[in-house]
Chains A and B, each alone.
Chain A
């Protein structure tokens, strides 16, 4: 066991998988010599050499496009996009090729590759460094999308992603990269893709969150518990394909549903979740399923970002509203 944060968990998982599987390679801008701007890949080039952990030219389409070729030809690339807001030049590759290669070749080729990218706001950053773009990946057939919220899950999900025969987008909540530590087993283990985690049982309302917001909901739960409200919290962990069963079972029990996400509201992941709740748990509902999300705006620069970031007070306010509907 080691007491480590999310960033260290990512780093140790990459190291472990590179050790176990000689076909795993790590690439991206500044990931090699420097070890990444967040240091997620620190030490890997020193340990495994430049052939397996390497810096790329500053070109996202090139990073993902060449990863496709490498995945077809016997390697398991783990590509880093430095910030999710800069993935757009690579989106052509992701949507038109990464997601489609298995289908296009009727199974002759498949892409065992992982695309890591830090995402989300709250780090007082420049423009394009704060986006939550889950929908843009979850909407594309052929992709999987996972987001850990703890060091334990970061290791288990990244291990699962690297071993997955299909391409996995691995979004990392950079706001909590170093926020807290957790005991994480040294040996290899998997957190299955497609399984949500019941973080806390409760009876009055189901709240679904992921990434950095799981901790914010936990803080909100403490606030509403003072009012006698019992919250069931689910950490979704996988956005695509999402674990409908865990969500539906919970809503059938609590009768109320709130999804909290930082991604903008319209056509966001919350819309999908609420549709599922309506389709599968309609008769259990005692209040309209509700979403608390980012506004439909560009994430503001630091002096305005406090309006955008969802804090525990707002979550508590929304929980009370749904419970008292």
Chain B
């Protein structure tokens, strides 16, 4: 997976950096979803334990 986007320079030579790779966008969305699921699970387990201890 590429981190950056490149284009070929019209003057030849090495590729030109033109920005971040948009292939990474699903990973950022997945990171948000993973945080949400993990937090919701931790809170659910915590509240269940609290209910049982009471």
Asked if A pairs with B, the answer is no
